[in-house]
Amino acid sequence: MLSKKASCDSHGQDSSYFLGWQEYEKNPYDQVQNPNGIIQMGLAENQLSFDLIESWLASNPDALELKRNGESVFKELALFQDYNGFPAFKNEMVDFMASMRGNKVKFDPNKLVLTAGSTSANETLMFCLADRGDAFLLPIPYYPGFDRDLKWRTEAEIVPIKCTSANGYKITETALEEAYQQAQKFNLKVKGVLVTNPSNPLGTTMTRLELNHLIDFAIEKEIHIISDEIYSGTVFNSPSFVSIAEALTERNLEDAEVWNRCHIVYSLSKDLGLPGFRVGMIYSNNQAVVSAATKMSSFGLVSAQTQYTLSQMLKDKKFTANYMEENQKRLERRKEMLVCGLKGAGIRCLESNAGLFCWVDMRHLLQSNTFEAEKKLWKKVVCEFGLNISPGSSCHCSEPGWFRMCFANMSEETLMVAMQRIKALVESTIVPQQTGLSKSRWLKNKWVFQLASYEQEPDR
């Protein structure tokens, strides 16, 4: 006797992305307690710089102990708070966002809406911009959780913008138009385009050309742009990150209609590694959207205690600047560890410059160029070799054989174990009938395969 919403299966929980998590939770890897368990490489979590956060908290006990100048503010924070959010926190947030963009753009705290994480922010924007059955265009591959975040409760639709490995998954004018026409074919009203920049799962930043294609398209079709920029502070290599706000400003579009149809989603989950704090936000130039989203935010508020503690941290500009610089260096080093380990096993990655993951090309390990073969390989990786990675099909990739592997949620030692398992996977997958050798001869000559991997063309 449940509602249709409670009993339907449109949440997306049956995706291989979530099923891999379930397998991990049954048998999680532990270096000492469970060395044969499953290593979690499906979680885009940044655990590389906790020591910097903890060091700041140790040096600033008032922030965590909810004190101001040594005096407790517990009662003040424990009582009812306006769901507009603390002005002090919102002021620090817009400064932080601007600093990560080289202060090339400024943000107004009055245009900021606080939400309980970016999941809530994206869903809230859907409720503000789309009615049941309206569509948003999303470039594929995209974050699997969007099927839940954007569609489940709002009943909006997603239409894919087909991007492929042939050009590094760049968004083209042709792909945008084809997606729009596809929506028209199914009698869907297109309300906007949503992009993640930097991309999840690709780990790449959008080029100015792509951003201009997006802006021109939104102007022509008179639709919205949502730019999910939650990984903006993880960019560790060139090209640098360009926000949609910067791209619009460069074209002097502040007085154009598209300015009011542009919305940014951000959170502190990835850049500061604080997903458990549930701090997300919507930034919009459209006051009607800000007003509606603020009303909706009462269903998912950021706690007063969280706002107070983080406002004190973000106010320390020297700390945040040092943190971002060091965190980006650590991310780059860890990413190179993964890329080198995979390369040693004969596996290449899409060239990337941001994020907490790599987009990994395992097409040569498929028994056939099909998603059925991809699923079979994924099950083997999870069940036989104890690695939870996300198959490209869960991200709606149009080409079988690509996988997302996360690298920032584990220790170096655990990553090394994961690379050993990857090598073992490759050795078991390149079977005699693929190499044309007997198994014994293939095993004797497997070092040739590893050597050859270093002579392949550079990572794409």
Helix intervals (H) in 345-458: 371-383, 412-429, 432-435, 439-444, 446-453
**Rounded distance between C-alpha atoms, residue 302 and residue 92, angstroms:** 15
The closest alpha carbon to 223, from 188, 171, 270, 269, belongs to: 188
33 and 394 Cβ atoms separated by less than 8 Å: no
Strands of 212-338, DSSP E: 224-228, 262-267, 280-284
Name the residue type at position 121: A
Residue 372 token pair: 């059925």
Sign (positive/negative) of CA torsion 286, 292, 293, 295? Answer: positive
**Residue 423 designated active-site:** no
Q: Considering the candidates 134, 147, 149, 228, report the single residue annotated as catalytic.
A: 228
Q: Which residues pair with 227 in a beta bridge?
A: 195, 264
The C-alpha torsion from 94 through 100 and 103 to 106, rounded to 10°, is -30
115 and 125 Cβ atoms separated by less than 8 Å: no
**Residue 228 designated active-site:** yes
Q: Considering the candidates 161, 230, 347, 389, report the single residue annotated as catalytic.
A: 230
Residues 6+ apart with CB under 8 A from 320: 96, 99, 313, 314
Name the residue type at position 387: L
334 and 23 Cβ atoms separated by less than 8 Å: no
Tokens 């998912």 correspond to 300
Helix (H) or strand (E) holding 402: strand 402-406
**Residue count (the chain):** 460
The closest alpha carbon to 344, from 204, 207, 446, belongs to: 446
Q: Considering the candidates 270, 323, 335, 422, report the single residue annotated as catalytic.
A: 270
Compute the chain's Rg from CA coordinates. 23
Q: Considering the candidates 143, 169, 180, 308, report the single residue annotated as catalytic.
A: 143
412 and 439 Cβ atoms separated by less than 8 Å: no
**Rounded distance between C-alpha atoms, residue 385 and residue 288, angstroms:** 51
**Residue 270 designated active-site:** yes
**Distance set, CA 453 to CA 62, 344, 345, 374, 456 (Å):** 53, 7, 7, 22, 6
Which amino acids are annotated catalytic? 143, 228, 230, 270
